[in-house]
Amino acid sequence: MRKTLILVALAWAVATSAAQIKNQIFQFEFEGFTLNGVLNLPNHTPPKGIVLLVHGSGQTNAVEQNWYADVRETLLKAGYGAYMWDKRGCGKSEGVFDYNQSVENSAAEVIAAIHALKNDQIAGSDKIGLWGISRAGWINPLVIQRYKDIKFWISVSGVDDKENFKYLLEQNLRIAGHPPEYVELIVHEWVEGIRITHAGGSFEAYQKVTANLGKDNFWLRFTHGGITAEGYDRYQKTFKKEAVEEETGLQVYVENFDTILSSVHCPVLALFGERDMNVDWRKTKSLYEKTMEKTTDLTIQSFPGCNHNMFRCETGGFYEFEDTHLPWTRCEGLLNVMTEWLKKRE
């Protein structure tokens, strides 16, 4: 019932002492609201370009909490500027946060940020690159399709064209130790619930086919206590407008996504954690290879023992870091791979 919630809120905590970055507030307008962001530029040399950091799903407090400090520092050391901002209604950005903001609208938001940087003649804005995690794997290809002068794209834990919650649910139930038949039952009920929701069925009909799902501990935790009638009705109004693949019952976030990826001609660096239990990274890797390997400069790197957010982990489970208090340690070599790849863009 929800796009994957990305636990990016803790990403800023990595190596805070290593990220003494000079922050400059830079705001832009989008659909009548002022969105608040932070711009980082190299201190002593003109930037080679500016990389926009595009968030995954969920609310943000990126500016205040200094998210992706290690990633932004890596970009600065490579000679690039970095710009990220808080979503509408988050941090000091105006408006109301919309969890169901379409990826098309998010892409338009990114392009608005690009125009603002260019209109203010920010140094480096003549060469724009994109970095994005998870949901940004839908957004950034649309940006590249609509804005023809993107210099490169760094895709982190990217997605294929469909809703990934089925995979997330299945993997996390397995990690929790449930037997295969239970996992199969719960996942089946989730899919049937999606079919009823998209077809315009009632909340009562939804409850009937998700009786066991509605009592599952992981589901209750993920949905903060379960789906209410009000929440169901609110979600259904948005969900009914979006495409669903008949065979799988999965929501299609970007139609003709393979065609859009095939039209990407800027260099692409795709980074995956091999214990990603949020997104089926192998499917995305295969999709990237199928669509972009012959049309652009595509580099793919996966990291053993790393989760969806590119931190070292034990299981990759959704709540692993919260429940086991593991240290937030970046995948070994991740930042170096980014640095070496960026050097080749010179």
CB-based contacts of 80: which residues, under 8 Å, 6+ apart?
A: 42, 47, 48, 49, 50, 51, 124, 129, 342
CB-based contacts of 139: which residues, under 8 Å, 6+ apart?
A: 54, 103, 106, 107, 110, 132
Q: How far is CA 14 from CA 65, 96, 179, 188, 320, in A?
A: 11, 29, 36, 38, 17
Can you tell me the mean pLDDT for 44-68?
A: 95
Query: Which tens digits make up the pLDDT trace of 107-144?
Result: 999 999 999 999 999 999 999 999 999 999 999 999 99
| Full strand arrangement of the beta sheet holding 128-133 | 24-30, 33-40, 81-85, 50-54, 128-133, 150-156, 268-273, 298-303
Can you tell me the mean pLDDT for 54-68?
A: 96
The one-letter amino acid code at 242 reads: E
Distance CA 44, CA 33 (A): 33
| CATH classification code of 8-161+254-343 | 3.40.50.1820
End-to-end CA distance of the chain: 43
**Ranges of each domain in the chain:** 8-161+254-343, 165-239
Is 170 a residue whose pLDDT tops 90? yes
The pLDDT of residue 12 is 40
- Across-strand partners of 300? 270
Query: Which tens digits make up the pLDDT trace of 15-49?
Result: 343 445 678 999 999 999 999 999 999 988 999 99
